[in-house]
Chain A
Amino acid sequence: MEVSIDRLTKHYGRKIAVDCVSTVLKPGMYGLLGENGAGKTTLMRMLCAILEPTSGEVLLDGREVSSMGADYRDLLGYLPQDFGYYPNDTAEEFLLYMAALKGIPRNRAKKRVKELLETVGLQDVAAKKIKSFSGGMKQRVGIAQALLNHPKILVLDEPTAGLDPKERVRFRNLISDYAKDRIVILSTYIVSDIEAIADEVLLMRKGKLVSQGTVPELTKRAEGKVWELAVSPAEAARWQKKEAVANLRHEGDQVILRILSDDRPAEEAVCCETTLEDLYLQSFRE
């Protein structure tokens, strides 16, 4: 199975939301990184055939997805960024309703819903109305509905938003298992989530796909460009104005700055190991 995105473009009037994005997605986990307004959600919506592209196409094994209709949607699981639900439904009722929308027969749906409620840790509140749930619990309902039909292509737009650290770990483990023989694309602003589970990272900026590769491949590109420098608190402010500071922490009387710079910023600066966050910050440094 292979999803090809071919010169996909979306214009909203004069604004270009997605600009000629091309890539090929094979089974595995893809992390979509980009600042707000980079075009991640628009790209995902076009990938789900909700939004018609201005130009370009999305192909599944050579067939254009918009022409596949229900056959394509049957393979799809989608968690939108602004996940909508029916507030008067219980978690179980909502999932059964979504299962019917996905064309899952009633008996199978009941089993699957029970299974998923356990998977996302909502089995004890299955009979409670969603409107009484916390943000994280609602998000878990959203994740469960995306998984109902065992989708071959799973698109998750900021799935970890609102989840506490324990829930995030549970989610990462669940999705990692899931991505073995399926295409999973997730966008998030929490870089560590992608770093932990993504096989490949797609970096978007102003509607364009600026980088794509595995985490080691991408971080390698930033190697030798991340430095740590210990300075006094008074000097720290001066350095922040002068250089791109990715992090700042206090150690005793000193402040340790993590500086992104092509050249060694000072004699005492020490070159350190690069993370995906460093690359992200470097990519979006103005």
Chain B
Amino acid sequence: MELFRLEHKKLWRKKSTRICVMLCFLYCVVIGSFLVYQWFSFGSRKDNMGGRSFDGYENIRNCQAYFSKYGELTDETLQEWVRDYQSAHEAEDEQTMENSGWQIVNSMLKGLYPELEEEDMLGIMLMSCYVEPDKLTEVYERREKAVETFLDISGQTGAEREYLLQMDDKVREPFSWKWVEGWSAVLGDQVSGLGTVMALFLAIVLSSLFAGEWHDNTSALILTTKNGWRKLALAKILTGISFALELFVLLAAGMIVSQLVFLGTEGWDMPIQTIKMIAIAPMNMLQGEIYEYAFTMLGAVGFAGVVMLLSACCKNHVLALLLSLAVAYGPMTVKDFAPYWLEKAFDLLPLVGSGADIFRTNTFHLLGRYIWSPYLLIWVPVLLGVLCLPPAVRGWARRMRG
């Protein structure tokens, strides 16, 4: 335990560790969260060029207040929303239009009522501006049909289709319907993108954990001590895992505090379908957020395991760093060009997949059973990381003994 404490202290004493943590916090919490809420995404529009004011806090409250009257998503409330929007459009009331959360509702209309979309209006006017409100009926039947159509287009038939539709049956209706755009930013971008950033900084900090001993030329000293390489390897592994968790907690805490300050807790019980209508997961926003944070945390631990294996097997910490970055960013870069099966396999690598898969209908076909992808994506990366640990210890021992 003492060795772990000192090893952990040693890691945090490094200037590179502190700089990495600071930059990561700055990027994810200050820029990616605080400034996104207050300025970049939720500040009120200053002009038509997309410029925004530094007033996100008030603007978000205005949006939440505007939306509070709808309560639940029904044919009536959807029609009412469209009427309100069209009145504001006619009156050129920019403020009301901005507060209406039109981006997500407009894409909902396009997805559920494609036949009402006028081709000659594409790119000229939003569907919300011209669609006849009275025609917006049977919203949940339409949703069901949209899910089935999407599964057909995706080639998901037979048992797989049944499996996904059974899951969809558990989605409770009617949907609680409040201002969604804040939650969309949280679940669609912020939390799901956290792993991509963490991978960079975890690789920088942890790639030297074992390989750095070669750089510092300390193997002879370590090998002649009572605790020796074995206990030190254990202390290093615990240090690597605890660092990954500490970095995660620091970032997650910062982001959650920022979220609570700007968005509050309103809308936590909305189903994630209010962000993406054809999602089939029976989850509300809070459950979705917990999943995405858990996905990132376990992915970070798994990735720490992979980086430690590479660090233990390479004598050069720069090489260990490059390999670690390649393990994360290589698959991320090529997966869009890879065959579907390979893309899915890449998603199982730590921090390569995305927590935002809760919005998708991806499945894995294993041992004759279909498994919804998020069930595997959350556990496989951390298991891969854990499996990397014994060879990391063995590899380090072999290299230490020359």
Which segment of B218-226, B239-247, B284-292, B368-376 sits at the interface? Answer: B218-226
B23 interfacial by beta-carbon distance below 8 Å: no
Main secondary structure on B side of the interface with A: helix
The 4 closest A-B pairs by CB, nearest first: A84-B217, A101-B225, A84-B218, A80-B220
* CB neighbours of A82 from chain B (8 A): 217, 220
A selection of 8 A-B contacts at a CB cut-off of 8 Å is A48-B223, A84-B216, A84-B220, A97-B6, A98-B221, A100-B2, A100-B227, A105-B2
Judge whether B219 and A84 touch: CB under 8 Å. Answer: yes
B10 interfacial by beta-carbon distance below 8 Å: yes
A233 interfacial by beta-carbon distance below 8 Å: no
Judge whether A102 and B6 touch: CB under 8 Å. Answer: no
User: Could you tell me the distance between the alpha carbons of A73 and B220 in the complex, rounded to whole angstroms?
Assistant: 12
User: Could you tell me the distance between the alpha carbons of A145 and B3 in the complex, rounded to whole angstroms?
Assistant: 16
* CB neighbours of B234 from chain A (8 A): none
Judge whether A50 and B13 touch: CB under 8 Å. Answer: no
Tell me the smallest distance from the CB of B6 to a CB of chain A, in Å: 5
Tell me the smallest distance from the CB of B41 to a CB of chain A, in Å: 40
Judge whether A101 and B13 touch: CB under 8 Å. Answer: no
Taking A49-B224, A101-B222, A145-B221 as given, write out 11 further A-B residue pairs in contact, using a Cβ cutoff of 8 Å, ordered by the A residue number: A45-B220, A50-B401, A76-B224, A84-B221, A85-B216, A87-B216, A89-B13, A93-B9, A100-B6, A101-B232, A149-B226
User: Could you tell me the distance between the alpha carbons of A105 and B2 in the complex, rounded to whole angstroms?
Assistant: 8
A70 interfacial by beta-carbon distance below 8 Å: yes
* CB neighbours of A45 from chain B (8 A): 220
B46 interfacial by beta-carbon distance below 8 Å: no
User: Could you tell me the distance between the alpha carbons of A55 and B366 in the complex, rounded to whole angstroms?
Assistant: 53
Judge whether A50 and B216 touch: CB under 8 Å. Answer: no
Tell me the smallest distance from the CB of A246 to a CB of chain B, in Å: 34
A227 interfacial by beta-carbon distance below 8 Å: no
Given A88-B14, A88-B15, A96-B6: A102 in contact with B220 (beta carbons within 8 A): no
Judge whether B13 and A88 touch: CB under 8 Å. Answer: yes
Partner of A51, one of B9, B221, B226, B402: B402
Given A48-B224, A78-B220: A100 in contact with B3 (beta carbons within 8 A): yes
* CB neighbours of B222 from chain A (8 A): 101
* CB neighbours of A98 from chain B (8 A): 221, 225
* CB neighbours of B390 from chain A (8 A): none
Judge whether B14 and A101 touch: CB under 8 Å. Answer: no
Interface centre among B9, B222, B226, B227 (most CB of A within 10 A): B226
Judge whether B10 and A97 touch: CB under 8 Å. Answer: yes
User: Could you tell me the distance between the alpha carbons of A49 and B222 in the complex, rounded to whole angstroms?
Assistant: 12
Residues of A at the B interface (CB closer than 8 Å) are 45, 48-52, 70, 73-74, 76-78, 80, 82-89, 93, 96-98, 100-103, 105-106, 145, 149
B residues 191-238 in Cβ contact with A at 8 Å: 216-228, 231-232
Tell me the smallest distance from the CB of B396 to a CB of chain A, in Å: 15
- How many residues of B are in contact with the other chain, CB < 8 A? 26
* CB neighbours of A86 from chain B (8 A): 10, 216, 218
User: Could you tell me the distance between the alpha carbons of A96 and B228 in the complex, rounded to whole angstroms?
Assistant: 15
The closest CB in chain A to the CB of B17 belongs to A88
Interface centre among A51, A80, A83, A84 (most CB of B within 10 A): A84
* CB neighbours of A103 from chain B (8 A): 225-227
Judge whether B2 and A106 touch: CB under 8 Å. Answer: yes
User: Could you tell me the distance between the alpha carbons of A105 and B1 in the complex, rounded to whole angstroms?
Assistant: 11
* CB neighbours of A48 from chain B (8 A): 220, 223-224
* CB neighbours of A84 from chain B (8 A): 216-221
Judge whether A80 and B221 touch: CB under 8 Å. Answer: yes
Given A84-B218, A87-B216: A74 in contact with B226 (beta carbons within 8 A): yes
Given A86-B10, A97-B10, A106-B2: A73 in contact with B225 (beta carbons within 8 A): yes
Interface centre among B9, B219, B221, B227 (most CB of A within 10 A): B221
The closest CB in chain A to the CB of B222 belongs to A101
Interface centre among B2, B15, B228 (most CB of A within 10 A): B2
Judge whether A73 and B216 touch: CB under 8 Å. Answer: no
Judge whether B218 and A85 touch: CB under 8 Å. Answer: yes
User: Could you tell me the distance between the alpha carbons of A74 and B227 in the complex, rounded to whole angstroms?
Assistant: 9
The closest CB in chain B to the CB of A103 belongs to B226
B residues 7-56 in Cβ contact with A at 8 Å: 7, 9-10, 13-15
Judge whether B220 and A89 touch: CB under 8 Å. Answer: no
Tell me the smallest distance from the CB of A139 to a CB of chain B, in Å: 14
* CB neighbours of B3 from chain A (8 A): 100-101
User: Could you tell me the distance between the alpha carbons of A87 and B212 in the complex, rounded to whole angstroms?
Assistant: 11
* CB neighbours of A83 from chain B (8 A): 217, 221
* CB neighbours of B9 from chain A (8 A): 93
The closest CB in chain B to the CB of A149 belongs to B226
The closest CB in chain B to the CB of A129 belongs to B13
User: Could you tell me the distance between the alpha carbons of A45 and B227 in the complex, rounded to whole angstroms?
Assistant: 18
Tell me the smallest distance from the CB of B228 to a CB of chain A, in Å: 6
* CB neighbours of A88 from chain B (8 A): 10, 13-15
User: Could you tell me the distance between the alpha carbons of A257 and B213 in the complex, rounded to whole angstroms?
Assistant: 49
* CB neighbours of B7 from chain A (8 A): 97
Judge whether A70 and B226 touch: CB under 8 Å. Answer: yes
The closest CB in chain A to the CB of B13 belongs to A88
